[in-house]
Amino acid sequence: MNVNMNMNKDKLILFFLAVLAVIAAGFVLKLAKPVILPLAIAWLLTFVVGPAVNAMTQRKIPLPIAIAVVMLFLCGVVFLGVFFLYGRVVTIVTEFPKYEARFVQIGNELNALFPFQYNFLADFSWRDSVHDTLAGLPGSFFTILSNLVMVMIFLAFLLAGKPYVKHKMDHALSERRAAQMKKIVGSISFEISRYLWVMVIISLTTGVLIWFALSLIGVDFPVTWGALAFFFNFIPTIGSIVASLPPILLALVQFYPAIWPGIITLVVIAAIQMTIGNFIAPKVLGDRLHLSPVVILISLLFWGWLWGIVGALLAVPIASAIKIACENIEELHPIAIMMGSGRRFWKEHRKAKKSDH
């Protein structure tokens, strides 16, 4: 009896210690965001560009040259991205006075139809708001640029050390433990690489379709909204909603007083997002990650609170890595099962019931 009570006490103490450790880790990650976030992004990029480095080294290209080629390619992509972003900002700023007048007109007409005590649309200074936003852009660009430099530095070091990890495991761990660790690392690398590349293709398809559809409808800045859909599509569920709202609201304002273009924009964007999100993406991705929707939601909330939009982008890969690690550690296997979608067990249960009948 005393032995059982002591065991229960020990388990309770371990549970509370684990909870405290998670809370402490959360605060550390929050405080150390300027350093840890670029490292996390670099870690994620290794799954995207790592196969290219491996392919070049297998063809007898020296590792430093392979890393240099990949880094130059990424720098080119970043330069094009910044150039594209700058062009979009300039275009929107040039067209803004037209929309400012339209907002004031809509506010006045709504106030005439529904006399509010306080008309926030009329009192809100759109020009001052945009001026303040634009005034903060140089500082924002400088922050982004400094973070990108840190990401590139971390990425170079991670890529340089990646080929030697397996050999270090062989010498640092026992044969059984080294095999287990290599299996975990290999599973994480394969699943996350596959997930990221499939998401790139799906997000690119979504962005192109939205750009094409908005161009046909005549909504302004279709390229901008297509690019927004591409980036936010990496955030499950929430991202597609956030990326869909701006073009729909713009269509309502742009074509006012006509409302049909806004409704058509809403229907078309919803059709594209739902078709790709509910039919094409599940078929292509399958159930390989086996993550529960609740786990995805909690991961989005936690990492989004911790690191903002970038944290939301990292949420699914991090949750997948944790689940794969738990799957390969016997003591943590129950956690992996609870993090999973449970679809496999549901199918097995249905088959068992059919066989009984």
Read off φ and ψ for residue 118, nearest 5 degrees.
-135, 115
Query: What pLDDT, on the 0 to 100 scale, is given for residue 267?
Result: 92
Residue 208 pLDDT greater than 90, yes or no: yes
Mean pLDDT on 135-149: 65
Mean pLDDT on 161-188: 80
As a whole number of angstroms, the distance between CA 251 and CA 254 comes to 5
Highest mean pLDDT of the ranges 38-42, 205-209, 292-296, 352-356: 205-209
Mean pLDDT on 340-349: 65
Query: What pLDDT, on the 0 to 100 scale, is given for residue 119?
Result: 53
Q: Is the residue at 331 inside a domain?
A: yes
Tokens encoding 108: 């006045």
Read off φ and ψ for residue 340, nearest 5 degrees.
-75, 170
Q: Is the residue at 21 inside a domain?
A: no
Residue 124 pLDDT greater than 80, yes or no: no
Pair (132, 46) in one structural domain: yes
As a whole number of angstroms, the distance between CA 204 and CA 226 comes to 9
Percent pLDDT > 70 in the chain is 76
Q: Is the residue at 307 inside a domain?
A: yes
Q: Is the residue at 279 inside a domain?
A: yes
Pair (317, 220) in one structural domain: no
Pair (37, 134) in one structural domain: yes
Pair (117, 201) in one structural domain: no
As a whole number of angstroms, the distance between CA 264 and CA 213 comes to 10
Single residue among 286, 301, 322 that ends a domain in this structure: 286
Q: Residue 136 sits in which domain range?
A: 33-162
Pair (187, 277) in one structural domain: yes
Mean pLDDT on 159-167: 81
Query: What pLDDT, on the 0 to 100 scale, is given for residue 131?
Result: 54
178 confidence band (pLDDT: 50, 70, 90): confident
Angle of helix 238-254 relative to helix 293-327, nearest 10 degrees, comes to: 150
Question: Which has the higher per-residue pLDDT, 324 or 353?
Answer: 324
End-to-end CA distance of the chain: 45
Pair (37, 158) in one structural domain: yes
Pair (101, 219) in one structural domain: no
Pair (152, 40) in one structural domain: yes
Query: What pLDDT, on the 0 to 100 scale, is given for residue 189?
Result: 79
User: Residue 167 burial (CB < 10 Å; 0-12/13-18/19+)?
Assistant: exposed
Q: Any residues with CB less than 8 A from the CB of 46 and at least 6 apart, and which?
A: 155, 158, 159, 162
Q: Is the residue at 2 inside a domain?
A: no
Question: Which has the higher per-residue pLDDT, 239 or 12?
Answer: 239
Pair (244, 300) in one structural domain: no
Mean pLDDT on 153-167: 84
Pair (236, 248) in one structural domain: yes
Of 239, 344, 232, the residue nearest 291 (C-alpha): 344
Q: How many domains does the chain have?
A: 3
Give per-residue pLDDT as tens, 210-258: 999 999 998 888 888 898 889 888 887 788 888 888 888 888 888 877 8
Query: What pLDDT, on the 0 to 100 scale, is given for residue 289?
Result: 59
Q: Any residues with CB less than 8 A from the CB of 62 and at least 6 apart, and which?
A: none
What is the average pLDDT score of the chain? Answer: 77
Contacts of 185-191 with C-beta under 8 Å, sequence gap 24+, read: 187/324, 187/327, 187/328, 188/320, 188/321, 188/324, 188/325, 189/47, 189/50, 191/288, 191/289, 191/320, 191/324
Residue 122 pLDDT greater than 60, yes or no: no
Mean pLDDT on 12-20: 71
Pair (330, 246) in one structural domain: no
Give per-residue pLDDT as tens, 256-314: 778 888 889 999 999 998 888 777 766 666 555 567 778 888 888 888 888 887 888 88
Pair (74, 91) in one structural domain: yes
Percent pLDDT > 90 in the chain is 6
Q: Is the residue at 242 inside a domain?
A: yes
Of 307, 308, 303, the residue nearest 321 (C-alpha): 303
Residue 177 pLDDT greater than 70, yes or no: yes
Query: What pLDDT, on the 0 to 100 scale, is given for residue 79?
Result: 80
Are 100 and 126 in contact, with CB atoms under 8 Å apart?
Answer: yes
Look at 58-67, 73-82, 186-195 and tell me which has the smallest mean pLDDT: 186-195
Q: Residue 57 in 3-state DSSP?
A: helix
Q: Is the residue at 43 inside a domain?
A: yes
Single residue among 286, 311, 345 that ends a domain in this structure: 286
Residue 345 pLDDT greater than 80, yes or no: no
Q: Is the residue at 266 inside a domain?
A: yes
Single residue among 162, 187, 204 that ends a domain in this structure: 162
Query: What pLDDT, on the 0 to 100 scale, is given for residue 114?
Result: 65
As a whole number of angstroms, the distance between CA 16 and CA 26 comes to 15
